[in-house]
Structures are given as C-alpha cells and as structure tokens.
C-alpha cells in the first residue's frame, strides 16, 4: 500500500455545509430538524474520522498483486449509527430485495470499473483496496460520505433529499477523494481544496458517463441528479456544464457556483468555498472534454488523471498550477501536433485561469 507523506483525511459529505446551514435555518421544522441533526452528526463524524484514518493506514497489511475484480461488501445500519452494521451483500452474490443495497453495490462496481479499465488503476489506493458500504444510516440522515474506510449512505429526509444511493456520480465523487488522498493529496482548503473537490466531480461524472456509455455531448454533466426530492426546484447539486444553475429553490437558495474566475467567491466557510469555486475547474474540464468530443474519459479524463497521479502536482497547487500541468500532460500524452493541448489551453482561458 502506498501512502502519501503528511496524510490528512478529507471529510467531504455529498451535501456540502453551505446547503445544510441554510436548511437548518428554515422556519419549517420538517426541513430544519433533519438538517440540524445531519450537521451535528457530520461534525461528530469529522472528529472521529481523523482517528480511524490514521489507524487504518498504520495497520494496512503488506500488498499482494491486486485483482482485476472489485471486492465489495454492503452492510445495513438499519437506521442506527453503528458502523458497519449487518452484512447484507457480498462480492459476487445476486441482487437482493433492497434496491438501495443493489444501487450501492453497483455504484462501487462502476467506480472500480472506470479506474481499472480506463486508467489501469486497481481500486482507489491503486492496490486493490476492498470497497465497503453501509446503507440506511441513521434516521432521516441527509448525507453520504466516505470515512476513509468505507462509504456511508443516508436515506434522506424525504422532504429535501431522497436516497443517497440514487446518484452514481456522488458515489464516484466520494471514492475519488480517496484516490486524491493516495496521490496528489491536495490540501482541503481554498484553491487546492476546490481542485480536490473538482477532481471528485470530474471522475464522479466520468464514472456515470462510462457506465452509461455516453459521449461528452450526450452526458448531463450534473452531480447529484436524483438526490433532490420532487418538491425542490432544481435538477442536481452541481452542474459542470453550467455552474450556478443546478438549483434555485425557496428553501435551498440558489446554486452559488461560479463558472469563471470573474465570479470567484472569497469566503472562510466550507473550507474556503471548496464546494463553490470548484465550479471553475469543473467548467474548464467540461469545455475541454466537449471540445475534444467522443468519450470524455479517453482524452480529457486521461490528461486530468495523468496530472492527479503524475507526481508533479503539489499539495498546495492553485488553479493556474493545475492548468499548466494539464497542458503539459496533454502534450506528453497526445503530442505537440494534435488538437488536444490546444483544446485544454483554450478551456482554461475561457474560465479565466491564466497559465503562467
Ligand atoms: Zn467532495
């Protein structure tokens, strides 16, 4: 198992704090109650996770040759908070009655598939890490997360959010935080934090696109489609195609994501706006992928993966550092004569990130 020096676990939940904070202030107790409970639970989990992640890395066994098959186990928390809960589905077993269990199993498998088949990476640590998930966590829990050891999914309160296994891209998003920790280990604050978030959205979306066999033109480029309850005005949590347009709702407010540096948000909340300013590199990826056409994981995704895992991206990288490395990686991967590096260069220019 390869670990990175100065390993600092990221605790990213699917629903970011800026949304829960707003819901928690709602006058309607059916909305504020679950959001307040979710915020309290998340802060307990954040504290606990720091300890378990360090333990896990210290106790990791010596590596053997990783398998080309995932090793998935799904557990049911039965609406309690003890992890992992009761084992309900093991690798290779047939689907059961519970659609939530089956979606979690499929989402872990789709994530494993993209990384292995597109990038020859064995699981999130590159060394065959088993993929565990717990469903039906807590009562009305409005979130899902990867805690450094496993995925955990709430059922949602039914008022604002529904079953968190509904979006394959958010499963991929959370697991990609693991990939980033094992590779570039981007600091989870400010611009490096927004890059960390953006990489999770990029590969989360690619996992969905790969599983559906979609081209860049066919993809919806949404993160979290299918998570919002029917009475919420919105389509998803974020849009890479049109950041700032994913939702506009009385209770949730308006999607705060900028698409370009002109609208970069300076804030101390949400780790310096990591889930907000990620809209800028997200949109750059969308622009590069659609300009290149075809399957987004083959060219744009390969370039982004090369930068994430190539060893030159520093933990404190800014958008411009990352952009420069993508242009370099596109030249190295596809040559100086092709359109690829120019499409990547132009995408960053369009979102206002200067390549120095
Ligand atoms: Zn995240």
What average pLDDT is seen over the chain? Answer: 92
Residue 63, pLDDT score: 53
pLDDT in tens, 107-155: 999 999 999 999 999 999 999 999 999 999 999 999 999 887 899 999 9
Residue 64, pLDDT score: 66
Residue 58, pLDDT score: 46
Residue 340, pLDDT score: 95
pLDDT in tens, 263-290: 999 999 999 999 999 999 999 999 999 9
CA of 249 to the centre of ligand 1 (A): 22
Residues labelled catalytic: 174, 275
pTM of the model: 0.92
Residue 45, pLDDT score: 82
CA of 14 to the centre of ligand 1 (A): 6
pLDDT in tens, 233-264: 999 999 999 999 999 999 899 999 999 999 99
DSSP string, 179-241: HHHHTT---SSHHHHHHHHHHHHHHHHHHHHHHHT--TTT---EESTT-B-TTSSBS-SEESS
CA of 13 to the centre of ligand 1 (A): 6
CA of 87 to the centre of ligand 1 (A): 26
Q: Above 50 in pLDDT, residue 3?
A: no
Tell me the residues surrounding ligand 1 (ion) with CB < 5 Å.
Answer: 12, 197, 200
Contact in structure between 276 and 18 (CB atoms under 8 Å): yes
Choose among 140, 105, 146: nearest CA to 12.
146
Residue 176, pLDDT score: 96
CA of 338 to the centre of ligand 1 (A): 33
Residue 299, pLDDT score: 98
Burial 32-66 (b: 16+ CB within 10 A, else e): bbbbbbbbebbeebeeebeebbeeebeeeeeeeeb
Q: For the beta carbon of residue 186, count every other beta carbon within 10 angstroms.
A: 27
Q: Above 50 in pLDDT, residue 32?
A: yes
Output 122 or 9, whichever has higher pLDDT: 122
Contact in structure between 113 and 210 (CB atoms under 8 Å): yes
Pairing of strands 253-254, 238-239: unpaired
CA of 221 to the centre of ligand 1 (A): 16
Contact in structure between 216 and 285 (CB atoms under 8 Å): no
- Cα–Cα distance for residue pair 131/150, rounded to 1 Å: 7
């Amino acid at each position: 198992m390869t670990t990175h020096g100065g390993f600092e676990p990221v605790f990213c939940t699917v629903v970011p704090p800026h949304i829960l904070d707003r819901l928690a202030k709602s006058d309607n107790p059916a909305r504020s109650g679950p959001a307040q409970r979710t915020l309290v639970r998340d802060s307990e989990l954040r504290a606990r996770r720091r300890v378990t992640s360090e333990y896990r890395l210290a106790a990791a066994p010596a590596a053997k040759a990783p398998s080309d098959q995932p090793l998935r186990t799904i557990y049911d928390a039965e609406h309690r908070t003890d992890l992992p809960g009761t084992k309900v589905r093991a690798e290779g077993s047939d689907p059961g009655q519970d659609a939530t269990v089956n979606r979690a199993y499929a989402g872990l498998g789709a994530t494993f598939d993209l990384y292995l088949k597109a990038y020859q990476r064995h699981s999130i640590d590159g060394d065959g890490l088993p993929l565990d998930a717990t469903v039906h966590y807590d009562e009305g829990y409005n979130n899902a997360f990867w805690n450094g050891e496993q995925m955990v999914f709430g059922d949602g309160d039914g008022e604002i959010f529904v079953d968190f296994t509904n979006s394959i891209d958010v499963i991929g998003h959370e697991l990609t935080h693991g990939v980033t920790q094992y590779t570039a280990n981007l600091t989870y604050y400010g611009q490096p934090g927004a890059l960390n978030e953006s990489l999770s959205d990029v590969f989360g979306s690619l996992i969905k696109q790969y599983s559906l066999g979609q081209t860049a033109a066919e993809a919806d480029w949404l993160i979290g489609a299918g998570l919002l309850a029917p009475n919420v005005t919105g389509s998803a949590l974020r849009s890479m195609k049109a950041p700032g347009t994913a939702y506009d709702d009385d209770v949730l407010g308006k999607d705060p994501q900028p698409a370009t540096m002109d609208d970069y948000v300076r804030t101390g909340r949400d780790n310096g706006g990591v889930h907000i300013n990620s809209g800028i590199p997200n949109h750059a990826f969308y622009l590069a992928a659609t300009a290149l056409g075809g399957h987004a994981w083959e060219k744009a995704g390969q370039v982004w993966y090369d930068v994430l895992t190539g060893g030159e991206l520093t933990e404190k990288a800014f958008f411009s550092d990352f952009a420069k490395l993508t242009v370099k990686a596109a030249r190295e991967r596809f040559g100086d004569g092709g359109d690829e590096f120019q499409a990547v260069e132009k995408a960053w220019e369009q979102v206002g990130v200067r390549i120095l």
